[in-house]
Amino acid sequence: QVQRVESGGGLVQAGGSLRLSCAASGRTVNNYDMGWFRQAPGKEREFVAAISRSGGSTSYADSVKGRFTISRENAKNTVYLQMNSLTPEETAVYYCNHVPYPTKRAIWYWGQGTQVTVSS
């Protein structure tokens, strides 16, 4: 697997936006389809979005379609998740992982994630 660090989380008001980053170290994520997941307190981890290794194909959970955008910048070995119109229910720890497109199945061990807190 590839070591990666998620960042960009924080506290935001409902309706606000955040952009999360997933930066790889040591090895490249450029050869892998990647995705984002989230886990809210007391809930199971759930799929949020995925992107093919070329960046040409993306998929989203129904709950985030039209509001979230996954992208990647292979030159920077980084995957992003732009989140708009956030709701308090989306308070969670967000994680990136290798997700063979078009599945929603994470392959690697989980990292630390980045906390997103949406206040009402």
Q: pLDDT of the chain along its 120 residues, tens only? A: 889 999 999 999 999 999 999 998 888 899 999 999 999 999 999 999 999 999 999 999 999 999 999 999 989 999 999 999 999 999 999 999 999 999 999 999 999 999 999 999
Radius of gyration (C-alpha) of the chain in whole angstroms: 13
Cβ(49)–Cβ(70) below 8 Å: yes
| Residues 23/77, Cβ–Cβ less than 8 Å | yes
